[in-house]
Structure 1
Amino acid sequence: MTETVRVYHNARCSKSRGACQLLEEQGVPLEVVEYLKHPPSRDELAALLRKLGLPAEAIVRKGEEIYKSEYEGRSLSEDEWLDALVAHPILIERPIAVRGERAVVGRPPEKVLELLA
């Protein structure tokens, strides 16, 4: 049986929908987390970043209005970025797919297939 892939998903995002579709086409069982409705806790986010091997700032959506008004041009610590992502989950890049101890940002959506190798 194929291990379930958890996808932090925003249904309004075409890249996120595309990543889910690619995994479904491969017959991969999905656990879809609509992270805007059910945001990850600070601890969950920190664990996710460890699996991604990225600092928090690397998954910040810098085109979002809240980023432009609150964070653009600021130099924040890792803890401050984590706090910002928890306070404003819209800033979290999507989709993020997790399988076991590995995770990838699905941009482009085909990146999620790396978890199947």
Structure 2
Amino acid sequence: MITIYHNPRCSKSREGLCFLEEKNIPHSVVKYLDAGLTPEELSKIIKILNISPIELVRTKEEIWKENYKDKTLSDEEIIKIMSENPKLIERPIVINENQGVIARPFSRINDII
């Protein structure tokens, strides 16, 4: 089953969810701002996406710019920061078993279905 890590306030995230619903693709929704993600969960997602942790960070968010922008951080530190500040996580993330995409644009979901 497909899992979408979703932020209802984000238009791109809503587009991704709408795409899944319109195609009648079975999916589960994780509202990660409410539920939060542990460092272990984020590490697993990053591995599935086959990216480095910094590629999952919304570097234009004020939290990042004010607190972390010019710091040298390890991958583990970046993951911990995202876990503590889920607003920094790029969205939407769509996972289908061992494949995943950051669905920007939402049409990238086609790559994993």
Q: TM-score range by the shorter chain?
A: over 0.9
Whole-Å Cα distance in 2 between the matches of residues 37 and 88 of structure 1?
Answer: 11
Identify unmatched segments of 5+ residues in structure 2: none
- 1:37 equivalent among 22, 28, 34: 34
Q: Note the 1:45-84 alignment, pairs <5 A.
A: 45-84=42-81
1:27-58 per-residue CA deviation (whole Å, 9 max, x = no partner) reads 10120100000011111110000000011100
Normalised by the length of structure 1, the TM-score is 0.93
- Structure with the bigger percentage of helix: 2
Residue 78 of structure 2 aligns to a residue whose secondary structure is: helix
Q: Determine the structure 1 residue equivalent to 2:12.
A: 15
Normalised by the length of structure 2, the TM-score is 0.96
RMSD of aligned C-alpha atoms? 0.8
Q: CA offset at residue 113 of structure 1?
A: 1.8
Percent of pairs with identical residues: 35
Determine if the alignment matches structure 1 residue 25 to structure 2 residue 58. no
Checking the alignment, whether the CA contact within 8 Å between 1:23 and 1:113 is kept in structure 2 is no
Whole-Å Cα distance in 2 between the matches of residues 19 and 83 of structure 1?
Answer: 26
**Greater shift after overlay, 90-99 or 72-81?**
72-81
- 2:84 equivalent among 67, 87, 93: 87
Runs of 4 or more, structure 1, over 4 Å off, are: none
Identify unmatched segments of 5+ residues in structure 1: none
